[in-house]
Chains A and B, each alone.
Chain A
Amino acid sequence: MREVAIIGVGMTRFGEIWDMSLRDLVVEAGLGALTDAGTDTVDSIYVGSMSSGQFVGQEHLAPLMADHLGMVGVPATRVESACASGGLALRQAFMEVASGMSDLVLAAGVEKMNDGADVTAVLATASDQEEEVYYGVTFPGLYAMIARAHEQAHGTTEEDLSWVSVKAHRNGAKNPKAHFRREFGLEDIMSSSMVAEPLRLLHCSPVTDGAAAVLLCPLERAREFSGQPVKIVGSGLATGALSLASRPDPAFLDAVELSGARAYEMAGMGPEDVDVAEVHDCFAIAEICCVEALGFVERGKGKDAARDGITDLGGSTPVNLSGGLKSKGHPVGATGVAQAVTIVEQLRGGAGELQVEGARTGLAQNMGGSGASSVVHIFQGV
């Protein structure tokens, strides 16, 4: 396997972007990555999107994207793993470069969620239609059941959940591309409207439009394109049962642990080596479960991490300094690639006020559904 580097990153602002279409978003992010690397050609393209068909009625996204990037003829592949589609696109691009099949591969993620679709119904298609959705459960409802199981096992309170949101918004307020650049106090979070007990509105990520893209090439060619390439040193993908009732422990995300273990093994590293991380906090409880499953804290201790500053700037493992899905926004297919963009910026030392001093190793974890798929990448500055 060849060593692989990221040589360019691009990202739209995240938000309700009424003046841009699905294709506009992809083109802006894709051109951003190409411009960053100083090139205008690629050998292959991957695009991750959860459900462009249901959100805007557009399938067959891969050739559309190649066409609108001015690259008709280039091989292009669309991949889907619900909210982990972006992370999966990055992994496929990584494997294509690592295998020696292609040199310059673009990995993009996109979702256009605010064009009038019934978002709750579309997102619910990532859970089990026959066993869960039929009976009236929603996505927040599934994570609420994970939260209640976590409360039962580890005593996690509504206040513990709320500190995760306070941290997300405190950091996201400083991210110029974030959807909700606004701080919230503990009281604001705990008095927001109830969605699915114990999860309130401000424990949930928003409905967001956006796209992100990264350009990959073999490490040995990276200096042709970038003064600050970032190596991908580990990649892990894992699956779990789609339906929450089929999981051994509803308070633990098995697929996240397994994907992390695979990425750590490939990188020859452990959680203690990670200087900065982005994890999939689609709901506050998800960040708590993910920091446990990735080994940043002991199992059962995730509830204290945000409040005690363990996962904040200056803590042992800063998590979601971008604002995370909560504040930055969660255009589902774009999220996994946007996480990689954030980590690359950190490892280049270009994260401004949110910079982790001397960050050398970063991790991004992106998951689908209520945790049935998870993909982890580990990055290192060169």
Chain B
Amino acid sequence: MPSPRYHREIPARYRLEARRCSDCETVIYPPRKVCPSCRGQDMETVHLSREAEVVTSTVIHVPPDDFLNEAPYAMAVVETPEGARLMTQVVDCDPSQVGPGMKVDLEFRLIRKEGKSGILCYGHKGVPSTR
């Protein structure tokens, strides 16, 4: 991944930075210019809670090359209390136990490596909730 592309995504990926539309209150993650609900452009920056609930999930058995050593692993669409949804891996548990309704905490983790001398790519992964 070219470094400018990686750099641009850091606020959303490292700090879970999102936007709240000032017109309709929709929380948008990752941030966008235009609200997908009302087309408003007046936004304030918010940070997502580091807790979420699984909306839907799967266990990947045939992974992309960069994730070969991790399969099988669970992936899920999770929803935070602010109503934002994001795609994430769910780790530190038996992947077959991950399913809709499961509560997870979002932890800062290594996501992938760009080859032997490339960027170490970080972001968030879900882990079973301690709440």
A binding-site residues for B, Cβ under 8 Å: 118, 120-121, 124, 130-138, 140-141, 144-149, 152, 193-199, 241, 243-246, 250-251
Assembled-state Cα–Cα distance A120/B65 (Å) = 9
Assembled-state Cα–Cα distance A149/B65 (Å) = 26
Assembled-state Cα–Cα distance A199/B59 (Å) = 10
Other-chain residue from B36, B63, B67, B88 in contact with A246 (beta carbon distance below 8 A): B36
27 pairs of residues in contact across A and B, judged by CB atoms under 8 Å: A120-B62, A120-B65, A121-B64, A124-B64, A130-B30, A134-B112, A135-B87, A135-B89, A135-B123, A136-B75, A137-B60, A138-B60, A140-B62, A141-B58, A141-B75, A145-B56, A145-B76, A148-B57, A148-B99, A148-B100, A149-B100, A152-B100, A194-B72, A196-B58, A196-B62, A245-B85, A251-B56
B62 contacts across to A, CB distance below 8 A:
120, 138, 140, 195-196
Taken residue by residue from 41 to 77, chain B's Cβ proximity to chain A (1 for < 8 Å, 0 otherwise) reads as: 0000000000000011111111111110010110111
Assembled-state Cα–Cα distance A131/B87 (Å) = 7
Other-chain residue from B56, B57, B70, B85 in contact with A136 (beta carbon distance below 8 A): B70
Assembled-state Cα–Cα distance A326/B11 (Å) = 41
Assembled-state Cα–Cα distance A197/B87 (Å) = 16
Query: Smallest distance from the beta carbon of B30 to chain A beta carbons, Å?
Result: 7
State whether B58 touches A144 (Cβ < 8 A).
yes
Assembled-state Cα–Cα distance A152/B58 (Å) = 13
> Interface centre among B30, B61, B73, B121, by most A CB within 10 Å?
B61
State whether A193 touches B61 (Cβ < 8 A).
yes
A137 contacts across to B, CB distance below 8 A:
60, 75, 87
State whether A135 touches B75 (Cβ < 8 A).
yes
Query: Smallest distance from the beta carbon of A123 to chain B beta carbons, Å?
Result: 10
State whether B111 touches A244 (Cβ < 8 A).
no
Chain B residues bordering chain A, tally (CB within 8 A): 34
A199 and chain B: residue at smallest CB distance: B58
Query: Smallest distance from the beta carbon of A340 to chain B beta carbons, Å?
Result: 31
State whether A118 touches B65 (Cβ < 8 A).
yes
A148-B100, A244-B87 known; A134 vs B111 contact (CB < 8 Å): yes
Query: Smallest distance from the beta carbon of B18 to chain A beta carbons, Å?
Result: 12
Other-chain residue from A118, A120, A145 in contact with B77 (beta carbon distance below 8 A): A145
Query: Smallest distance from the beta carbon of A367 to chain B beta carbons, Å?
Result: 19
Given contacts A135-B87, A141-B58, 17 further A-B contacts (CB under 8 A): A130-B9, A132-B87, A134-B112, A134-B121, A136-B70, A136-B75, A138-B63, A141-B75, A146-B56, A148-B100, A149-B56, A194-B72, A195-B61, A196-B61, A241-B36, A243-B87, A251-B56
State whether A136 touches B112 (Cβ < 8 A).
yes
